[in-house]
Structure 1
Amino acid sequence: MRLLFWVAVLFAGAVGLALFTQFNHSNVVLFYPPYRVEMSLNLTLALLLLLFFVVWTILTTFRHLSEMPRRAAAYRERSRMSKAQAALRESIENLFAGRFARAERAARDAQAWPEQAQTAALVGARAAHRMQESERRDAWMAQVTDPERAQARLVSMAELLVDARDAEGALETIAQLQSQGGRQIHVQRIALRAHQHLKNWTEVLRLARSLEKRNALHPVLALRLKQLAVEAMLDERRHDAEGLYHFWRSLSPDERHAVRIAEPAARYFSALGRQNEARRIVEEALRVNWDSRLVQRYAECAERGKALPQIQQAEKWLTEHPVDADLYYTLGVLCLGEQLWGKAQSNFERALKYADPESQRRLRVRTHLALARLFEETERPEDAQRHYRESAMLAA
């Protein structure tokens, strides 16, 4: 449509010019003594138009010639910038592809353009780090001096230091970053790894909880880290009953119900003579997570002569888990402690009946030993010897 419009304009102009020249009979006379030049007006206008185009062409040519050095310099600059950008792209691609030596060489070429020299230095530092060249890595990082890139430098350096197992250096770098107001989730992940290397379990637990709330850690990984931290902190307080109790109450219900946390906590409370607390820990955890380790630990939470409530609780559990060998063994141990010989024997025998010969070999060994002790207490040495032999054969 636009082409048709301009064609119409061109034709209209041509028609108008033809009509103007056809009906224009004027003359132009130029006097330059002793000469006199007489021309038609149409020819005069044509010559003036021609002169205009000649002058315009000369001036344009002169201007282009005078600008050639500047244009050549701009072309060289664009060419250098284009090559530097291509080198930076190549460096990043090689870094992701695991070709670290190529990535470092390309990063060096990418520094030909000053605007991206420090960005290329960050890529080069990562490539050198992957090749375990710490001196070259630090030399690359030293080139990043722009205040606008300080955060990128500090975060990258902290991550690389953690990866090199320099946890203290990583935490110092993170402290510099946080002093400038940096509180990113990624920085917290780096700090979590650093504190884990240094076994700062209090910080590991705090950071794992914080990242879990923000959905920045996979739930399984968050649970595992919290378990490691709580296990270590429980072990630190295993000789301090009050400290252990207060720390246990500070945990969330989900943490207290985790098997790997509840089981050692019950063990430590039992060792400190806090059987009632240990029993509550196991019972609460078993309501949420039924596990053989907690079931067996339940027997150690009993006080001699006061195990009747636990026996009743274990019998209630049997209605829900009627073929659980670990539960039968635990119930047998509780009855044995209360000298309920017949009931203990029947529970031990059921534990042997339901225990898997392959996966529960240790449980069968312990059950045979418990039966042997029971028969010794009831003065049945032949039966006791038979179970000792069975346990020895299974243990071998």
Structure 2
Amino acid sequence: MRLWRWILLLVIVAALAAFGWHWVAADPGYVLLRLRGWRVETTVVAAVLILLLAWGLLTALWRLLRWPFGAFSRRHRRLSQQRMSDGLTALIEGRHGDAERDLNRASRLDSLRGPALLAAAVAASRRGEHGRALEALSQASQSAPQAARVLRARLLRHEGKPAEALALLAPESDKGTLTPGGWRELALAALANGDIRRAREALDPLQRSGSLGSRAYVALEARVLTAAINAAPDGAALNTLWSQLPKAQRRVPAVIDAYARRASGFGLVLPAMDEVESALRREWSPLLIETYGSLPGDDVEPRLRRAEGWLDAHPNDATLLLTLGRMCVRLKLWGKAHQYLQRALALAPGAGAWEALGDAYAGQGDAAQAQRCYRNALAFARGEAVTPLAQRAQAGQLDTQPIAIEERDEHGVPRLRG
């Protein structure tokens, strides 16, 4: 298709040139130029060609005259670009002193002044030279005011001054003119300063900007909403806040966990349990399984039976096994507790499982084994080696191997394993 377009265009140009030539040839026009005895006669076409040629010669002569004077500026531009490249490379490699030096030199070129000073401020901050970083940001604010403001707020927050960072970003936040990076810094500074309202206000523009990936935004959203839930002064305020949250936010597992624990703290165990069970029916979540088993209440026995029913679909879930073991400890079902907890330790060793197993031994009056389990929990949390329990302490020969789950295709027919 492009070849036919070019051919058609060439035909049109040739036709226009032919008609134009005949039109000019019929009457080429007449131009007379007389100056101090000089007399020049020519046609209009020739006069136009002479003017174009003269303009081209003057342009070439002007560039030739300017070339020696532009050599220094071209060398300065080339060196500045090279220093900018070297400075950014040094910044990534951790050579912050070299990076700051090269970037400050690169900032002498006007076109690179803003980015170079911003990067130099980052290099100075990583060296611990906060005064030099703030000085570089003051200079960068003349070329890139918004970026310098966001970076200054980040440095203040890292220095443990969230109130100053929040005060720096608040005016633009009220106007709604913050950049995506500014909204993120505002949310983090507000969280650190305890201003939950401003942190929540930053979520909506940050989500609309799409500057954060889905995982990063969900993590920040969960932090903000968890802080808002934990700040609720009583059960009524908590329920009001929960009812005002959008449905999507009320389905985040970390947010549900925070609500359930806060609600149970106010004595609202049934609403907390309803939210956790509804979430587990929608989607399996190890975090909410742990929440389900740790909530207070007198209905531990029916909760245990309900959780044991989930083993058919999740037989190798260590969090579910730990939750079952903890509930068995609360009900003083020592045999079941040992079975679930030892299987959980075999699948995914953890400090929580060792601690729960220690509670089981302590409940049975075996102080020596309980102390060994507690020491193992502490050692695991520190990253140290744990001490295996004596064989006599094992409740028989338990099968701790992962259970093979039957796989089925989209028609429900079991798949054959090769």
Q: Same fold (TM over 0.5)?
A: yes
Counterpart check, 1:163 vs 2:155: yes
Partner of residue 325 from structure 1, selected from 321, 329, 332:
321
Distance apart, 1:120 and its partner CA: 2.6
Alpha-carbon distance in structure 2 between the residues aligned to 1:348 and 1:360:
16
Q: Residues 91 and 286 (structure 1 numbering): CA distance in 2 closer, same or farther, change over 3 Å?
A: same
Partner SS for 1:355: helix
Alpha-carbon distance in structure 1 between the residues aligned to 2:75 and 2:259:
63
Alpha-carbon distance in structure 2 between the residues aligned to 1:308 and 1:106:
70
Cα contact 2:88–2:119 (8 A) shared by 1: no
Partner of residue 204 from structure 1, selected from 195, 199, 208:
199
Distance apart, 1:370 and its partner CA: 4.5
Cα contact 2:358–2:371 (8 A) shared by 1: no
Partner of residue 366 from structure 1, selected from 356, 360, 372:
356
Distance apart, 1:100 and its partner CA: 2.4
Residue 262 of structure 1 corresponds to 256
Partner of residue 275 from structure 1, selected from 242, 249, 269:
269
Q: Residues 208 and 284 (structure 1 numbering): CA distance in 2 closer, same or farther, change over 3 Å?
A: same
Cα contact 1:158–1:174 (8 A) shared by 2: yes
Structure 2 gaps, min length 5: 1-53, 91-98, 376-418
Equivalence map 1:170-185=2 (5 Å)? 170-171=165-166, 174=169, 182-185=177-180
Counterpart check, 1:392 vs 2:371: yes
Partner of residue 224 from structure 1, selected from 219, 227, 230:
219
Distance apart, 1:159 and its partner CA: 2.0
1:366 maps to amino acid = A
Partner SS for 1:359: coil
Counterpart check, 1:120 vs 2:113: yes
Residue 231 of structure 2 corresponds to 236
Alpha-carbon distance in structure 1 between the residues aligned to 2:200 and 2:176:
23
Q: Residues 81 and 229 (structure 1 numbering): CA distance in 2 closer, same or farther, change over 3 Å?
A: same
Residue 96 of structure 2 corresponds to none
Distance apart, 1:185 and its partner CA: 3.0
Distance apart, 1:240 and its partner CA: 0.9
Cα contact 1:126–1:137 (8 A) shared by 2: no
Normalising by structure 2, what TM-score? 0.57
Partner SS for 1:356: helix
Q: Which stretch of structure 1 is more off in the superposition, 98-107 or 269-278?
A: 98-107
Alpha-carbon distance in structure 2 between the residues aligned to 1:135 and 1:296:
46
Alpha-carbon distance in structure 2 between the residues aligned to 1:362 and 1:158:
41
Aligned residues: 296
Alpha-carbon distance in structure 1 between the residues aligned to 2:175 and 2:240:
36
2:324 maps to amino acid = Y
Q: Which stretch of structure 1 is more off in the superposition, 153-162 or 195-204?
A: 195-204
Alpha-carbon distance in structure 2 between the residues aligned to 1:353 and 1:170:
49
Q: Which stretch of structure 1 is more off in the superposition, 351-360 or 263-272?
A: 351-360
Distance apart, 1:246 and its partner CA: 2.1
Residue 95 of structure 1 corresponds to 87
Distance apart, 1:282 and its partner CA: 2.2
Distance apart, 1:302 and its partner CA: 5.4
Cα contact 1:331–1:347 (8 A) shared by 2: no
Alpha-carbon distance in structure 2 between the residues aligned to 1:153 and 1:331:
57
Distance apart, 1:359 and its partner CA: 0.8
Alpha-carbon distance in structure 1 between the residues aligned to 2:101 and 2:135:
12
Structure showing greater Rg: 1
Cα contact 2:337–2:357 (8 A) shared by 1: yes
Equivalence map 1:1-396=2 (5 Å)? 74-75=66-67, 77-98=69-90, 99-108=99-108, 110=109, 116=110, 120=113, 123-124=116-117, 126-127=119-120, 130-131=123-124, 132=129, 133-134=132-133, 136-137=135-136, 140-141=139-140, 144=142, 152-165=144-157, 167=162, 170-171=165-166, 174=169, 182-237=177-232, 239-288=233-282, 290-301=284-295, 303-304=297-298, 306=299, 309-322=302-315, 324-332=320-328, 336=331, 344-345=333-334, 347-356=336-345, 359-360=349-350, 362-363=352-353, 365-367=355-357, 369-370=359-360, 373=363, 384-385=364-365, 387-396=366-375
1:393 maps to amino acid = R
Q: Residues 347 and 227 (structure 1 numbering): CA distance in 2 closer, same or farther, change over 3 Å?
A: same
Cα contact 2:162–2:192 (8 A) shared by 1: yes
Cα contact 1:328–1:351 (8 A) shared by 2: yes
Distance apart, 1:217 and its partner CA: 0.9
Q: For 1:75-112, what per-residue CA distance to the aligned partner results, in whole angstroms no more than 9, with x for missing partners?
A: 5653354344334423432332233212312433x3xx
Q: Residues 367 and 294 (structure 1 numbering): CA distance in 2 closer, same or farther, change over 3 Å?
A: farther
1:298 maps to amino acid = Y
Of Structure 1 and Structure 2, the greater helix share is in 1
Alpha-carbon distance in structure 2 between the residues aligned to 1:330 and 1:135:
52
Partner SS for 1:303: coil
Alpha-carbon distance in structure 1 between the residues aligned to 2:287 and 2:168:
43
Q: Residues 346 and 258 (structure 1 numbering): CA distance in 2 closer, same or farther, change over 3 Å?
A: farther
Residue 5 of structure 1 corresponds to none
Q: For 1:106-153, what per-residue CA distance to the aligned partner results, in whole angstroms no more than 9, with x for missing partners?
A: 433x3xxxxx37x536634542553341464256347x3xxxx5xx32
Normalising by structure 1, what TM-score? 0.59
Distance apart, 1:175 and its partner CA: 5.2
1:347 maps to amino acid = K
